[in-house]
Structure 1
Amino acid sequence: MAFFNNKKHKKSTTETTDYIETFDIDSNGNFTSTELIHTYWWDVTTNFGDLIGPWLITLMTDRPVSNSKYLNINRTIFTVGSIIEHASNFPNQKISIWGSGLIQPLDNPKKIKKLRRCQIDKILAVRGSLTRQELSKIYEIDNSLPLGDPALLLPRFFSPSLKNINHISIVPHFNHKSLFESYEDTFNIINVMQSPKNVIAEIASSKICISTSLHGIIIAQAYNIPWLLLRIADETLLGDMFKFNDFFSTLKGEEFPIKTILASDLRNLDFNKLATEASLIPIETNLNDLLDAFSME
């Protein structure tokens, strides 16, 4: 994965630039240069879902990426994740949105005011219809705007080396990791704080995926693994069901495999029985349109 560690290479100049190169040496010993792609991803905690965006861009373009939060540049692109509200941290950069989502509704005038100040000038695609609906409070958005989480495109660019799992895997969000430690000897508990390549290989090697993580579900969907969302009502994530329902809006139907429990219910939860409720939902959104919408211009 070609990532540029710009945490250690912040520019001291106040000038902005769209062009930064990395240098390598080819098999003949000659220097080669590649222009970086500036994109934004959340990197406060290591989480495979947040790394999918930059990794996918490297797979699609064969170019290295740089986290634009550490650079003084003119333009960046937001991709995978509930990161659109983070745009308020980039007051001086023009922003393209490709498949990103909101974490919760824009039901606060302060949130709307913050986003209005941002330079989001290209909305190429968003994760789902809920994000599209909320952003239409600020921007003129046509209903033909492509929808979908770009992680759904991963099978076109990455074929994982399958592992010898072939049974139930549980994918806790990193906030829920400690709740599932007692099941590590019984089921395959996937640590989302690994690289995307490792997490995807484990999910794709499973018979069933039970997940409290959005991208646990999305990767299972992408690689044709039946899944079930486990919602822990007293340990909900920020925004609760908004981002999940946003993703569900790109699938066919109105009913999805969801089980809501309390954290205390985990002690007696029959995961084998729960796994029988998992399913694979047909995708309604047009993934070709989503891919075609990608642009670095």
Structure 2
Amino acid sequence: MNFRGNLRRLINEVGCDFIHQLPYPHVDLFYWRPDDGTINFGDHLSIVVVDHLLRQFGYTLADEVPRQARLFAIGSVLHYARNGDVIWGSGVNGRPGQGDLNHRVQNLDVRAVRGPRTREVLQRRGISVPEVFGDPALLLPQLFPNRFRPTAKKPWVFVPNLHDLNLVDPTADTVVSPLGSWNRRIDAILEAELVLASSLHGIIVAEAFGIPARYVRLSSGEAEFKYHDYYEGTGRFAVEFATSIDEGREMGGAARLNLDHRALMNAFPIDLWSGKN
């Protein structure tokens, strides 16, 4: 691995998301990025959603704020959290070695989490967690009401998780790679009548825009925890997973999500910028 890759890995390990820190109090938005510098669209949606929502309030991520803070929004990244971090929609990963909080973490400022399974993990640590659930990527239709629209150009597409990329042909017309620009990934997902995915955000984006979707578990690269956490956070329990693309096509989409978008939106920690509780 080259120097840049080693540096990026170090940054992820210590939980700092920006190489060049701003020289004044600001809000660091933490989100996971691959070591090789590529963009995994689901994780990158964190900066898209937070930045766009902030601008509606008249703020930016570059603003000086009353006190230094670190925010976790989209992603299964809570194993990187440190004492005092602010949580709005993140979840526990569930993979071995990444399945829980760092043992040193005793207090977090939690505004919302992805689902009830994450809430239970945090509560076992003695951390207060409100019953406000949902991945912030579910707010994309509300944040971009006139930009993205389902087109139903294809009967189905498959969106693989990074760990499953080697199991599919990324050049196939029915495959939407998770690597690349966030807007083009969304455009490609919205071309389908049915979205099959091992990428959690392939499922989330489809369902946010009302497209039926089904989780296809092609490998054990990701723990089932985060998928159950997402489904249960949107009011669906005991959702069945497909074990192949063909089985997923036969099963069709899961039941439609049930989410209070307003509760998730209202939980956004704008006070980190305004200084008003």
Q: Structure 1 length as normaliser, TM-score? A: 0.72
2:54 matches 1:47 = no
Which of 74, 87, 92 is equivalent to 2:68?
Answer: 74
Residue identity matched to 1:18: P
Which of 235, 240, 244 is equivalent to 1:252?
Answer: 235
Q: Compare the two structures and name the one with the higher strand fraction.
A: 1
Q: Is the 8 A contact 2:93 2:100 kept in 1?
A: no
Q: Is the 8 A contact 2:154 2:193 kept in 1?
A: yes
Segments of 5+ residues of structure 1 without an aligned counterpart are 20-36, 67-72, 262-268
Which of 99, 111, 117 is equivalent to 1:130?
Answer: 117
Larger radius of gyration: 1
2:237 matches 1:243 = no
Which of 105, 127, 140 is equivalent to 1:154?
Answer: 140
Shift in Å at residue 168 of structure 1? 1.0
Q: C-alpha offsets along residues 37-56 of structure 1, whole Å, 9 cap, x if unaligned?
A: 53111123520011111110
Shift in Å at residue 256 of structure 1? 2.2
Q: Note closer, same or farther for the CA distance 1:174–1:165 as it changes in structure 2 (3 Å cut).
A: farther
Q: Structure 2 length as normaliser, TM-score? A: 0.77
Which of 168, 182, 186 is equivalent to 2:156?
Answer: 168
Q: Distance in 2 between the 1:41 and 1:109 partners? A: 17
Q: Note closer, same or farther for the CA distance 1:243–1:108 as it changes in structure 2 (3 Å cut).
A: closer
Q: Distance in 1 between the 2:68 and 2:228 partners? A: 33
Segments of 5+ residues of structure 2 without an aligned counterpart are 1-16, 273-277
Cα RMSD after superposing both structures? 2.9
Shift in Å at residue 17 of structure 1? 3.2
Runs (4 or more) in structure 1 with deviation over 4 Å come to 105-112, 161-164
Q: Note closer, same or farther for the CA distance 1:127–1:109 as it changes in structure 2 (3 Å cut).
A: closer
Q: Note closer, same or farther for the CA distance 1:229–1:163 as it changes in structure 2 (3 Å cut).
A: same
Residue identity over aligned pairs, in percent, reads 23
Tell me which residue corresponds to 2:8.
none
Aligned 1:1-297 pairs, distance under 5 A: 6-7=18-19, 9-10=20-21, 17-19=24-26, 37-44=27-34, 45-62=38-55, 63-65=59-61, 74-88=68-82, 94-104=84-94, 111=101, 113-116=103-106, 120=108, 122-141=109-128, 144-158=130-144, 159-160=147-148, 165-181=153-169, 184-185=171-172, 187-232=173-218, 235-238=219-222, 240-261=223-244, 271=246, 274-296=248-270, 297=272
Q: Distance in 2 between the 1:249 and 1:164 partners? A: 27
Q: Distance in 2 between the 1:111 and 1:178 partners? A: 30
Shift in Å at residue 214 of structure 1? 0.7
Counting matched residue pairs gives 243
Q: Note closer, same or farther for the CA distance 1:244–1:289 as it changes in structure 2 (3 Å cut).
A: same
Task: Specify the SS of the correspondent of 2:205.
Answer: helix
Task: Specify the SS of the correspondent of 2:192.
Answer: coil
Q: Is the 8 A contact 2:94 2:100 kept in 1?
A: no
